[in-house]
Chains A and B, each alone.
Chain A
Amino acid sequence: MWSGGIPAMSLVTDAFVSQIAAVEPWPENATLYQPLRSEQVLLSDNASCLAVQAFLRMCNLPVQVVCRANAEYMSPSGKVPFIHVGNQVVSELGPIVQFVKAKGHSLSDGLDEVQKAEMKAYMELVNNMLLTAELYIQWCDEATLEEITQPRYSSPYSWPLNSILVLQKKWEIKRKMKAIGWGAKSLRQVYEDVDQCCQALSQRLGTQPYFFNKQPTELDALVFGHLFTILTTQLTNDELREKVKNYSNLIAFCRRIEQNYFEDHDGSSSSSLRLPKGPALP
């Protein structure tokens, strides 16, 4: 298949990794690294971290959450979160799902081919719209950038490194927005996109408990990560949260996952989940 001059290096590595992964069972001391929760983490990073946590909890795999100020720089892909399992380090939801699957735990095995295609499509919708919108709001909206993103992102560093890192990241995100055609979008259009995405998710979910009825999949983990973060994070204004709040089945869906996977048996929400800057769910 690889007729071109492209070495299939990463494919070989992938195969190698999954082979090793398959040999060892899930260890007790698996660790998930993420940025400092109270003073550093940003909306989009928190959504990704929460999605991975929800996914691992749905798989019933124990993981210890460790907050590090330099998690972003520890991660092999430069993105949080990443998990440290045995002698493997894997970052971001997609690769983590594959890695966990190689260890014999999968949430989407029961789906048929068409449902798998649909699940992948909706996951890309969330990445393409919600994640991009979160990045846009926190890095391209000047008010949010100044009030929230800048102080939080630069909190572990002193001058002049803090300003340099913020500028670097801001330019990186702006380059990305320009490349995918979001450069000319206004904040209003971004909110409309979020609304459109939530509407699509809400219609797809309907009255089912999870996207593919009884069993949660990685799509449920991803959607939960993003929506729960948006619902519980205090931004400069409530507009983003209001967009999600319009869809009552999505709110019920977030509650359901929170109750089933994040609450201790005595009914109190586990302290690791609550965002300090965010109020409780409505």
Chain B
Amino acid sequence: MCRCGSAPPGDGRGVRLSLRQEIPDRRSVVVAGLPRGFPVMELRYWGGDWGLPSVHPECLAVLAYAKFGGAPLTLTPVDYTWASSQGEVPLLIHKDDVIALPVNILSYFRKQKYNADYVLSAREGSDTLAYVALLEEKLLPAILHTFWVDPDNYSSVTRPWYASRIPFPLRFYLPGRMYREALNRILVTKGQPPLYSMNEVEAQIYKDAKECLNLLSNRLGRSQFFFGDMPTTLDAFVFGFLAPLYKARLLKVQLQEHLKQLPNLCDFCDHVLCVHFTEHTEGTSPAGQEAIDANLQKLTQLVNKESNLIEKVITCFLLSIDSSNQFACISLYLHYMRYKYCLHQASTKVLVK
């Protein structure tokens, strides 16, 4: 069964890159080139926003590890068309293998020799396993709560975002199902007898998560990555879990506020984004936002100028019918064309972002 249908037909980097440029609205984007005839690994994932390559923590962790290990991927953002509505996300498809769950996907990358962990000693490998368990037990419930269960964040941020990526009529059903799954996970794992009301469960999971963030901050200290100078599995997971929390524009921000008080973790997220995901970093960071605003202003000015020019050209053309001043008309027309070109460029820039 070959499910790599969305991979571009040509092999080799040059061909693919040119395809990408010719068809800008194509959903799959190739990260890096592959040797000729090598089957492409396809990753289904939730797409990006807020300056991130993916808004979904687990997808982001997988993407980050693929970057760290240099794994070439065909990226297929989930759109839940009827054809692809089955299965979980993230999902890796390679030849006949279909792999779910981030941990399995990461070990599959390692088997394919895209290993970011070869620098680790055995003991550091053990530490990685332990810290990933810590993240899953202590931080994940609060992140799920922040994005899915908190009513304000869910109705104003999470549900609109996911619903806009899912076609009608599934958009009315799937976000609700994801909300129920998140709530169920929190209640089943954390909602045990002494904590009877949701408020108590919330207090407990946020307390645990803040403690976990403090522990991570202490562990990271002043180093660039968790184990020396090279990013590894643990960095991928921490980045995946923290970056959406750091970048999302949420209404209820108690965990986000706490994260922002830990500058080394914020710097860590910025650093990974900046070094490994440069194409996504512009856009929604405060600086990126200013850039967008500036571009919009420029665009508005250009539109105004253009309408003025059109008027002038028309007047000039009318005048030129009975006067001999055709030179002025042509020069004005050339100016008009130049502005039109600038306008086109500016608008594509804004639209791309």
Contacts and interface: CB of A to CB of B under 8 A. Distances in A.
Contacts of A121: 127, 130-131, 133-134, 215
Instruction: Give the secondary structure class of A's interface.
Output: helix
Interface in B171-222: 181, 184-185, 188-189, 192-195, 199-200, 202-204, 206-207, 210-212, 215-216, 218-219, 221
Chain A to chain B: the 5 pairs with minimum beta-carbon distance, closest first? A200-B126, A117-B215, A121-B130, A128-B133, A113-B218
Among the interface residues B137, B181, B212, which one has the most CB atoms of the partner chain A within 10 A?
Answer: B137
A57 interface: no
Interface residues of B, number: 44
A44 to B, nearest CB: 14
A201 B125 CA distance: 11
Contacts of B193: 76-78
A121 B210 CA distance: 14
Interface string A1-42: 111101111110000000000000000000000000000000
15 contacts: A3-B257, A6-B206, A77-B192, A91-B194, A118-B219, A121-B130, A124-B138, A125-B133, A128-B136, A175-B188, A179-B189, A180-B185, A180-B188, A197-B129, A199-B126
A109 B252 CA distance: 35
A4 B188 contact: no
Nearest to B126: A200
A255 interface: no
B253 interface: yes
Nearest to B221: A114
A213 interface: no
Nearest to A117: B215
A201 B211 CA distance: 23
A114 B222 CA distance: 12
Nearest to B218: A113
A204 B127 CA distance: 8
Contact of A116 (B122, B212, B218): B218
Given A113-B218, A128-B133, A181-B101, A7 B199 contact: yes
A179 B188 contact: yes
B192 A10 contact: no
Interface string B300-325: 00000000000000000000000000
Contacts of A139: none
Contacts of A129: 133
A124 B133 contact: yes
